[in-house]
Structure 1
Amino acid sequence: MNQQWYQEDRSDVLIVGAGPTGLVLACDLARRGVSALVVERSPELFRGSRGKGVQPRTLEVFDDLGVVEEVLRGGGRAPMGMTWQGGVRAGEYRMFEDVEPTEDAPYTGPWLLPQWRTQRILLDRLRAWGGDVVFGVELTGLTQDAESVTATLIPAGGGSPVSVRAGYAVAADGGRSTVRRLAGIKMTGERVDPAPMLVADVVIPTLDRGNWHIFPPAEGGTGFAALCPLPHTREFQFVAQPAPVGGEVTAEEVRSLVAKFTHIPAEEITEVLWASDFTVNAALADRFRDGRVFLAGDAAHIHSPAGGQGLNTSVQDAYNLGWKLAAVLRDGAPEALLDTYEEERLPNAAAMLGLSTRIHRGEERRGAATRQLGLDQRDSSLTREIRAGLAEGALTAGDRAPDGKRDGLRLFDLYRGPHFTLLAVDTPLPEQLPTLPGLRTARTGAYEAYGRGLYLVRPDGYIAWAGPGGDALEASAADLRAWASRFAQPARAGV
């Protein structure tokens, strides 16, 4: 193991886990100049396809991080579903509702991308920003005081423990989180389905890749299976329920399950690249913060895979936390800003758990809610709307800031990067601007998706504040300047 990783006395942030959650957070911090030590117990990146559905809102996050083109190249749309009965094709159906891209919402989905490829893209991006991951390192202890956290780390294969310090620690280490246990945070939840499931990546050269193959139970029977072709690979993701749970799943057990649930003989599965079994639970951490320790991703919420919400909600946990940590560590924002991470993300995760459970039980279909573009921060203490008389359905503070192109300006290009943006729509910009580090401003003509007014867009793409322009412009701007002080303290005179 490279011994250089622990020689610095202190990092800004310790991130435990190099899954999508930890990598997105590390990328977001790296582009903001925040030093993060990312440690991962495994010797390499996760090699399975598990979280393969990337929702439109997550594609927007990837756009902001500058990796969406690679994500789009490496993935593909969900193919037509094909049901089978008794080894005979029984009929086609759309797995997901067809949604066309629009000016304000250019990405549709879910976009199928094996999780291993998502993580490789993110790690490459992190390294391009000067960051990296230390593999083969396990967390065994964690304490904190008023100024920092101290972690005990040990090489996963054995060796002498090392003590490292950081300003904050983030648990991105999955549903069995060591960080969560050491922080003493409990989870509350339920068993969603008594029947265990298996997911595996397999190679079946004889099976066509033009369909997502579904194998419902025979009449009067139980259980089901599915084989989804993974774009730009030789692989299918195989899902089966029920499946044996406990111990390491062998390749022969996977072949036997394929043969049991489908018409495909075991010998036609030429490779089993990865496999995992699990029980379907839904559980939520009682809190997402304990002092200088934060929970994100599966460390904070576990759920059914139905609806493809897990990886996406986890990415957005990291996206919410990253800019807030940077604001406190680099821009002088009040420490209280970090309290809004739990305030905003815990209710969102609770709603996601409910949605995933209902979809799993057949009580709700996949639809607009699973695409996550309608998620908002309207109830957040960071949100302020001062326009009166808005029409029903109008864009308001707390909503996701839509894309669009006006006067030669693409809004997502304007928002991309670690900054706040003040957008004036069909009104001038105020003469006195709020004091926010790196604030970007723009003015555009009328755009129906927004409506006339001023919009302060947060670094994570939500509208923090909205107010009227026109005759009320200067009064509106004064309110904005006062409101913006919660995000970063004004510079002192002479500094």
Structure 2
Amino acid sequence: LVGCDGARSAVRRAIGAAFHGDAVVQRVQSTYIRAPDLLGRMSAGPAWATFSLNPRRSGNMYAIDGRETWLVHNYLRPDETDFEAVDRDACLRAILGVGPEFAYEVLSKEDWIGRRLVADRFRDRRAFICGDAAHIWVPMAGYGMNAGIADAVNLSWMLAGVLRGWAAPALLDAHEAERLPITEQVSRYAMDHATALAKQRGAVPAEVEAPGPEGDAARDAVGRAAYALNVNQYCCGGLNFGYFYDASPIIAYDGEEAPAYGMYDFTPSTVPGCRTPHLWLRDGRSLYDAASPGYTLLRFDPRAEVEGLMHAAAVRGVPLSVLDVDAEDAAVLYPRRLVLSRPDGHVAWRGDAVPTDPLALVDLIRGAGRKVD
């Protein structure tokens, strides 16, 4: 059983898991409105997302249909703990920059609290949890969805291996060992970013609304700072591609540490546990498209002998194929002649030659754990 049943997960409760973390990171009033005249008032031109920052009230506005429906988020100040005490209409008008004459229709509304909560366990025997059932945080740029999909991908190939018989049941132990630490990391990135945004909203100077050069300079400074902060949020390459599994029972580590990553940037690496670096092959295909659904042994030197490893995989029934990589930038990203990529696109092992005991490596990656020499 895999519980993907959301933040109020019954499966999480059934397996005895409990949420821990920060119960309140941000309070938000969200209002879905119809305002046909709003688009014509936008001096900066139409946009999917508009960030409104002023000394009185700051919030975000998102275009829903590109014409007349909008979702407006009003971020409450730290001292505003009672949703009912906050004037929704006045805040909306301050965020939109419109006066009392402006007409709009409220289609729906919701008051919600952004949290950072991670379950203390993701499994009890044959029951697992993924996605919001396992972790919730401030909804930013799809981090929760991305992490939930990554949870499911991680667990699905392991379950497939056990059900098809080539993996030992202990393979499933790797799911929590890999995903729980990453979930904790991502949750903190999301919370820290939400905190930084709140700090920025609370520090908007009065001069931002002043006319003339002084106001122009204040608006330019606030705008640049907001852009720099939000590029990290929406162009979060590090968060999606830079994370690595550094304590997995099914990865053959070689002593080299994985490179650090941030929300925005990361360094592609073949250190075991990292995401297999992407390459464009000379025939125009993506390396990821060329890889097999199972394990893929990436060979960067056709002279490298791989028969021993292929035979060991066949003995254990582990799905393994060889891909001879022909790509212009291969040598820069792949310093070893051989890299074993998992079904989920993470590096399981690397080397310049097949291990002296290839069966030990195969047993390690299928959850039957033996030390690899």
Provide TM-score, normalisation by structure 2: 0.70
Answer yes or no: is the 8 Å Cα contact 1:282–1:303 preserved in 2.
yes
Q: Equivalent residue for 1:444?
A: 325
The answer on whether the counterparts of 1:307 and 1:356 sit within 8 Å (CA) in structure 2 is: no
CA distance in 2, matches of 1:458, 1:318: 15
Tell me, yes or no, if structure 1 residue 336 matches structure 2 residue 170: yes
Over the aligned positions, Cα root-mean-square deviation in angstroms equals 3.5
Relative to total residues, which structure has the larger strand share, 1 or 2? 1
Aligned-pair CA distance for 1:340: 0.8
Q: What residue number does 2:351 align with?
A: 467
Contact 2:250–2:367 (Cα < 8 Å) also in 1: no
1:292 Cα deviation (Å)?
1.4
Partner of 2:49: 212
User: Structure 1 215/202 Cα, relative in aligned 2: closer, same or farther at 3 Å?
Assistant: same
Mapped partners of 1:486, 1:464: distance in 2: 9
Give the 3 Å change call, closer, same or farther, for CA 256–170 of structure 1 in structure 2.
farther
Aligned with residue 189 of structure 1, among 10, 21, 40 = 21
Q: Mapping of 1:278-297 within 5 angstroms?
A: 278-297=112-131
Quickly say closer, same or farther: Cα 1:388–1:174, change in 2 above 3 A. closer
- Bigger radius of gyration: 2
% identical equivalent positions = 26
Distance in 2 (CA, whole Å) between partners of 1:328 and 1:429 is 29
What code does the residue aligned with 2:104 have? I
Query: Who is 2:218 aligned against?
Result: none
Do the aligned partners of residues 385 and 186 (structure 1) sit closer, same or farther apart at CA in structure 2, a change above 3 Å counting? closer
Verify the 8 A CA contact 1:430 1:477 in the aligned structure 2.
no
Deviation sequence 1:465-493 (CA, Å, 0-9, x none) = 1111xxxx3xx254444212244499xxx
Shift of 1:302: 1.6
CA distance in 2, matches of 1:481, 1:231: 57
Q: Tell me if 1:350 matches 2:197.
A: no
- Could you list the per-position Cα deviations for residues 263-292 of structure 1 after superposition, in whole angstroms to 9, with x for gaps in the alignment? 2468643563x5432112211111111111
> Post-superposition shift, 1:352?
1.2
2:244 and 2:109 map into 1 onto residues whose CA distance is 36
Deviation at 1:180, TM superposition (A): 1.2
The 1:235–1:338 alpha-carbon spacing in structure 2 relative to 1, beyond 3 Å, is farther
Q: Does the CA-based 8 Å contact 1:197-1:241 persist in structure 2?
A: yes
Note if 1:457 corresponds to 2:289. Answer: no
2:90 and 2:270 map into 1 onto residues whose CA distance is 53
Give the 3-state SS of the residue equivalent to 1:361 in structure 2: helix
Q: Can you list the C-alpha shifts for 1:438-458, whole angstroms capped at 9, x where unaligned? A: 423211245322223211111
Residue 74 of structure 2 aligns to which amino acid in structure 1?
A
Runs of at least 5 residues in structure 2 that lack an aligned partner in the other structure: 200-227, 261-266, 369-373
Aligned partner letter, 2:249: S
Aligned to 2:208: none
Where in structure 2 are the equivalents of 1:292-303 lying within 5 Å? 292-303=126-137
Structure 1's 424 and 325: CA in aligned 2 closer, same or farther, altered over 3 A?
Answer: same
State yes or no: 1:199 paired with 2:22: no
Partners of 1:314 and 1:181 lie apart in 2 by 18
Distance 1:479 1:454, change over 3 A: farther
CA contact (8 A) 2:294 2:319 kept: yes
Shift of 1:365: 4.5
CA shift in 2, pair 1:395/1:348, >3 Å: same
Cα separation, partners in 2 of 1:257 and 1:455, compared to 1, 3 Å: same
The structure-2 alpha-carbon separation of the partners of 1:407 and 1:298, relative to structure 1 and needing over 3 Å to count, comes to same
Paired residue type of 1:372:
N
Q: Deviations over 1:158-195 (max 9, x none)?
A: xxxxxxxxxxx1121111112112222111122343x5
Do the aligned partners of residues 244 and 453 (structure 1) sit closer, same or farther apart at CA in structure 2, a change above 3 Å counting?
same
More divergent stretch after superposition (404-413 vs 478-487): 478-487
Pair 1:373-2:241 in alignment? yes
Shift of 1:374: 0.7
Task: Please name the residue that 2:280 is paired with.
Answer: 405
Superposed displacement of residue 244, structure 1: 8.6
1:178 matches 2:178: no
Contact 2:61 2:73 in 1 (8 A): yes
Cα distance in 2 for partners of 1:279, 1:171 equals: 23
**Structure 1 residues 453 and 201, CA gap change in structure 2 (3 angstroms):** farther
TM-score (ref. length: structure 1): 0.54
1:156: which partner in 2? none
Report if the CA contact (8 A) 2:171-2:367 is conserved: no
Report the CA distance shift for 1:437/1:246 in structure 2 as closer, same or farther (over 3 A). farther
Deviation (angstroms), 1:217:
3.9
1:414-447 per-position Cα deviation (integer Å, ceiling 9, x unaligned): 13x6311111013435123133544232112453
Letter in 2 for 1:181: R
Over 3 Å counting, the alpha-carbon distance change for 1:261 and 1:387 in structure 2 is closer
